[in-house]
Amino acid sequence: MNQNRKYPSIIGALSMLLGLYGPGAVADEFSDADIDRWEMEYEVVVEEGEKLFHGGLGNQNTVSCDQCHPNGANTHPETYPKFQQQLGKVATLWEMINWCIENPLQAEKLAADDPKLIALQAYITEERKGVELMPGKH
Ligand code: HEC
């Protein structure tokens, strides 16, 4: 094999290593102040989800999540993804929330990245903090 042709790939591998473990990694460092801020941002989203869960989605029939799920805890986020009979497939938590939004709440389903759907998931999941993950469980 031609030795000269080997060098570019070695240089390439070296620069990749430097990129991964060198200056690139330094940019990912964070401080206690960052963690405080991130936790605060998370809390705000959880609180928003709690409000939406207890009526706040603006649906015309005014049905709210807590009428059938008295608190977030009986929504079993730790069992997702799992096969959901209503959807006829293995589904994620947000797809099941959308099923409830479309059916009992008779409202338009939300986009996966809709802040309201993210907030609902944050609240529901926070309610089950510490529970062992059991994806696929019924
Ligand atoms: C009229 C009653 C009703 C309302 C209101 C309702 N749901 Fe549901 N929900 C159900 C039923 C029925 C199921 C399916 C039963 C099951 O799979 O546990 C379900 C299932 C779920 C599940 C999956 C539970 C599991 O154990 O896998 C989640 C999550 C959920 N609902 C969230 C919500 C959210 C969020 C709202 C409000 C936007 C809401 N639901 C409103 C009746 C309701």
Report pLDDT digits (tens) over 44-56. 999 999 999 999 9
The per-residue pLDDT for 74 is: 87
pLDDT in tens, 45-99: 999 999 999 999 999 999 999 999 998 878 999 999 999 999 999 999 999 999 9
For tokens 């060098």, what's the residue? 7
Q: What is the pLDDT of residue 60?
A: 96
Residues 7, 105: Cα–Cα separation, whole Å? 63
Query: What is the average per-residue pLDDT within 20-27?
Result: 55
Q: Both tokens of residue 133?
A: 């993950």
Tell whether ligand 1 has an atom less than 6 A from the beta carbon of residue 117.
Answer: no
Compute φ and ψ for 135, nearest 5 degrees: -55, 140
Task: Report which protein residue has its CA nearest ligand 1's atom 7.
Answer: 100
Task: State the pLDDT at residue 72.
Answer: 81
Q: Is the CB of 122 under 6 A from ligand 1?
A: no
CB 117 within 8 A of CB 108: no
